[in-house]
Amino acid sequence: MEARKRWKPNFFFSRGLRTIALTAVFFSALQSALGSAKVGGGSNRANSITIKNRRAGKLYSAQCGQVWQGQYARLHAAILEDEPSRQRLAVVKAHKNGLGDRLTAAVTIFYYALLSGRAFRIDWHGASSEATLATVMEKPNVDWEAAEDLAGMWPEARTVVFEINTGAVDKLFYNPYHRQQLFEWGLRPETAVGCALNYLFKPRPEVLELVHENFKALRNPDALKIGIQVRMGDAWLQNKPYGVCDREIDHDDLGRWFRCASKVEEEYRVEGMPVHWYMVSDCPALRYKAAKKYGPKVLLPSQELVTEHITYSTGNTTKDLLAIQTAFAEQWLLGMTDFQVITEESSFGRLAALRSLRFRSVYTMRSPEAMAERSRNDSWECKRSEFDTFEEVAVKHPWVKVL
């Protein structure tokens, strides 16, 4: 109980429901509100709760530690079993934006819940009522699914609801109250995103069945696996105009991703090693063009996949469900690759790369102006020494900020 006594939030909640929007002072307020609260400081009743998945702290223990996972699972379960008026909840409102932005927000608020001793919940709105997060992802360790009517379900709960579209986890590692705590748990800025995603989510079998052949290929530990993410943008995905997607992949613009993947393959492949290129794009035709040019090492999608933005309804609930299943499946598989050639202005590829828990593996395709700022001209190649640093992948971008 000592930890709960030390919890002194300055403005985040009352007995009613509060919604906090992202403002200029959000990140500093988040740190100050966390104070010095510790996880696992609940009653004996909390410690008696059965952990749903005892492998939680073992599967990624080398990168994530192996103590906090079980402690938080017990605390989370105890909070949800308590009377509503005594529940302490941290809810992330995931109603807008694409998959990458939503999961980025979820990771940030998960760590807020973890450090402040709250039960983490996700209030998800998809393109249709059937396209929910729970229909594509299992809950291997904690039940993060929130009811749609938060005020109606928890009228007396001490609930904090966040609506953000960028990450703030990196700042927690500079928080004087929690920096040492996070490091003692075995977490690092470089691993925080991947550890949270792998702890919170697991694709449902029916989701992986959609990408069964590719999943099987990417599980081969003896293969060199290179992920390629070519993002056209929300406007293209929603309106599908003619233009860049109709170009050949050896075009000066599109060809950069594939030249980079070829260089990575040249740098890391050894004789006799099978090679797989796993490509994702909001322009599905590019995959077939890539396979035509580069051969069978390019893994092709199944015919059942549907490439649509998860926020926009197609008017067909079956198609909406397949769209969210496709997005999750493809991002999960992209995170299974050894190297990732990604698009700068997209959190989808960044998040997959960080979930892989690999290092020195990311090469980002940027605008000509951004490449020039890094002294990279048209002759720049994706050599071993020219990977993107962790800060470039997760922190430095002005608005695609994952951590």
Whole-number pLDDT of residue 106: 94
Helix (H) or strand (E) holding 85: none
Question: Cβ–Cβ contacts within 10 Å for residue 10, how many?
Answer: 8
Max mean pLDDT range (6-20, 22-36, 111-125): 111-125
- Specify the range with the lowest mean pLDDT, choosing from 18-22, 164-168, 302-306, 309-313: 18-22
Work out the pLDDT band at 369, boundaries 50, 70, 90.
confident
- The whole-number pLDDT of residue 124 equals 92
- Least confident among 15-29, 101-115, 353-367: 15-29
pLDDT in tens, 46-74: 333 233 344 444 566 688 998 899 999 99
| pLDDT at residue 16 is higher than 70 | no
- The alpha carbon of 130 is separated from its chain's Cα centroid by a whole number of angstroms, namely 21
- Cite the DSSP H helix spans in 128-274: 150-153, 169-172, 179-184, 189-200, 205-209, 212-218, 234-239, 255-268
For residues 344, 348, 353, 356, the Cα torsion angle rounded to the nearest 10 degrees is 180
**198-218: per-residue pLDDT in tens?**
999 999 999 999 999 999 999
Q: What is the pLDDT of residue 2?
A: 30
pLDDT grade, residue 327 (50/70/90)? very high
Q: Taking Cα atoms as reference points, which of 384, 333, 340, 346 lies closest to residue 358?
A: 340
104 neighbors 174 (Cβ within 8 angstroms): no
- Quick one: pLDDT band at residue 45, thresholds 50, 70, 90? very low
Residue 363 β-bridge partners: 341
Which DSSP string corresponds to 108-169? HHHHHHHHHT-EEEEEE--SSTT--GGGTEE-SSS--BPPS-HHHH-TTSEEEEEE-SS--H
The lowest-confidence range among 1-10, 53-62, 182-191, 295-304 is: 1-10
Q: Which has more pLDDT, 144 or 345?
A: 144
Residue-level pLDDT at 33: 52
Residue pair 217/338 in contact (Cβ under 8 Å)? The answer is no
Which H or E element spans position 225? strand 224-230
CA distance 19 to 245: 40
Q: Which two tokens stand for residue 389?
A: 């640093």
Domains of the chain: residue spans and CATH: 2-203 (no CATH), 206-394 (3.40.50.11350)
Q: What's the confidence (pLDDT) of residue 157?
A: 62
Phi and psi (nearest 5°) for 358? -105, 160
Structure confidence at residue 232 (pLDDT): 81
Q: Of 192 and 6, which is predicted with more confidence?
A: 192
Report the alpha-carbon distance of residue 382 to residue 76 in Å, rounded: 44
Residue 378's pLDDT is what? 59
What's residue 233's pLDDT? Answer: 74
Dihedral sign for Cα atoms in the order 96, 102, 106, 109: negative
Query: Which of the given ranges, 40-54, 103-117, 312-326, has the highest pLDDT on average?
Result: 103-117
Mean pLDDT of the region 174-186: 91
- pLDDT computed for residue 328 by the predictor: 95
* Tens-digit pLDDT profile for residues 231-240: 887 766 666 6
- 202-203 and 137-138 beta bridge pairing: antiparallel
pLDDT at residue 220 above 80?
A: yes
The per-residue pLDDT for 1 is 33
- Segment (H or E) for 377: none
Query: What secondary structure letter does DSSP report for 93?
Result: E
Q: Are the C-beta atoms of residues 152 and 16 closer than 8 Å to each other?
A: no
Which one is predicted more confidently, 330 or 34? Answer: 330
